[in-house]
Amino acid sequence: MSAFKVTMLASGSKGNSALISTGKQNFLIDMGISCRMLTSRLGEVGLCVEDLDAIFLTHEHTDHVKGLGTFTKKYAVPIYSSELTWRAILIKDPKIERRNCRIIGGALRCGEVEVNSFEIPHDAVDPHGYVLKCNGSKCAYITDTGFVTEAVRQAAEDADTLILEANHDVEMLKNGIYPPHLKQRILSTRGHLSNESAGYLLANLPRIPENIILAHLSQENNLPRLALDTVRNILSEASLFNDARIFVAAQDKIVKDY
Ligand SMILES: [Zn+2]
Ligand SMILES: [Zn+2]
C-alpha cells in the first residue's frame, strides 16, 4: 500500500492545490486557492495550516499561486520552487513575503520524504512537476503538461500514486466556445494534457499505479465521467484494466484517494 495519502483540495483552471500526506508529514503542491479556502478544505481532513511541512510550486500561473500573498503574511511555512519561477511569481505579486521563499534545484530531503522536481512542457518560464518518495512508495504530480516527455514518463513510472492531468476531451475543446487562439494554446505542446494522452501514458507504463487521480479537468472542455471513461477504455483496450483505483479531482470540493 502506498505510503502517501492524497487529498485534492481543489483542481482545475480556477485554482489548484493538492495535499500529500505520509501520516507524519504533510505537503502541499501548489497554492492556487485563497487562504480562507485552504484553511477550510484542510479542516475537512482534520488539518490546519500549521500541520504543513512545506509547499512546492509547479509554475507561476495564477491558478497555482493565487493564495500566496495572504498566506505568506500569516504563515512561515517554507515554499519551494525553481529560481526562475520564483522570480516570475514575485514580479506578478511583490507583496509575497521573501522569508517563505526557498529554491529547489533538483532533489531535496524533508524528514522521511525525498522530493524531486522535473521539467514539464508548458507555457510558463520554468514549469516543473514533482516526485515524492517515502519508504519505497512513490507519488508523482503531473499537471499543466503539453505532452508526455521522457522526463514525464519517468516520473510516472513505478509510481504507486499518480496525480495526472486529464485536462480536456479534444473533440469537446475543438467544438467548444473557446476562441481559436486559446484552443491552439491548450492543444499545443506547451499546453495541457488531454484525456486520451493521459490514458495512453498510463497504458504504456510497465505497471499501472495503485491510485490514479485525474486532475486539472477543464470545466468547459471536459466532464468527469468522460475523463474517467476515456482513461478506463484505453486501459481495457490495452488489456490493462486491473484493480487500479481511479479518482477524478474537482474544483469545488475535496477528493481523497483513501
Ligand atoms: Zn499553467
Ligand atoms: Zn494550471
- Could you tell me the distance, in angstroms and rounded to a whole number, from the CA of residue 76 to the centre of ligand 1? 25
Q: CB within 5 A of ion ligand 2: which residues?
A: 63, 144
The residues with which 116 forms a beta bridge, in sequence order, are: 107, 131
> Which pLDDT score is estimated for 248?
98
Q: What angle do CA 4, 5, 6 make, to 5 degrees?
A: 115
Starting from the CA of residue 165, give the closest ligand.
2
Please state, in angstroms and rounded to a whole number, the distance separating the CA atoms of residues 72 and 17.
16
- Could you tell me the distance, in angstroms and rounded to a whole number, from the CA of residue 168 to the centre of ligand 1? 14
Low-confidence ranges of the chain (pLDDT < 70): 241-242
Q: What is the mean pLDDT of the chain?
A: 96
Starting from the CA of residue 122, give the closest ligand.
1
What is the biggest distance separating any 2 CA atoms in the chain, rounded to whole angstroms?
52
Q: HSE-up of 120 (CA within 13 Å, CB side)?
A: 32
Starting from the CA of residue 146, give the closest ligand.
1
Starting from the CA of residue 15, give the closest ligand.
2
- Could you tell me the distance, in angstroms and rounded to a whole number, from the CA of residue 125 to the centre of ligand 2? 13
- Could you tell me the distance, in angstroms and rounded to a whole number, from the CA of residue 66 to the centre of ligand 1? 12
Cβ(166)–Cβ(227) under 8 Å?
yes
Cα–Cα separations (whole angstroms), residue 67 to 72, 75, 84, 240: 9, 12, 19, 39
Cβ(222)–Cβ(169) under 8 Å?
yes
Q: With H, G, I as helix, E, B as strand and everything else as coil, classify residue 130.
A: strand
The residues with which 39 forms a beta bridge, in sequence order, are: none
> Which pLDDT score is estimated for 134?
98
DSSP assignments along 71-126, one per residue: HHHH----EEE-HHHHHHHHHH-TTS-GGGEEE--SEEEETTEEEEEEE--SSSSS
154-201 residue pLDDT tens? 999 999 999 999 999 999 999 999 999 999 999 999 999 999 999 999
Q: HSE-up of 82 (CA within 13 Å, CB side)?
A: 19
- Could you tell me the distance, in angstroms and rounded to a whole number, from the CA of residue 208 to the centre of ligand 2? 25
> Which pLDDT score is estimated for 242?
67
- Could you tell me the distance, in angstroms and rounded to a whole number, from the CA of residue 30 to the centre of ligand 2? 10
- Could you tell me the distance, in angstroms and rounded to a whole number, from the CA of residue 48 to the centre of ligand 1? 27
Instruction: Please provide the CATH number assigned to the domain covering 5-253.
Output: 3.60.15.10
- Could you tell me the distance, in angstroms and rounded to a whole number, from the CA of residue 224 to the centre of ligand 2? 17
> Which pLDDT score is estimated for 244?
83
Please state, in angstroms and rounded to a whole number, the distance separating the CA atoms of residues 170 and 199.
13
Cβ(56)–Cβ(31) under 8 Å?
no
> Which pLDDT score is estimated for 145?
98
Starting from the CA of residue 185, give the closest ligand.
1
The length of the chain in residues reads: 258
Please state, in angstroms and rounded to a whole number, the distance separating the CA atoms of residues 185 and 29.
24
> Which pLDDT score is estimated for 140?
98
- Could you tell me the distance, in angstroms and rounded to a whole number, from the CA of residue 124 to the centre of ligand 1? 7
- Could you tell me the distance, in angstroms and rounded to a whole number, from the CA of residue 239 to the centre of ligand 1? 33
Three cell numbers, residue 205? 507504463
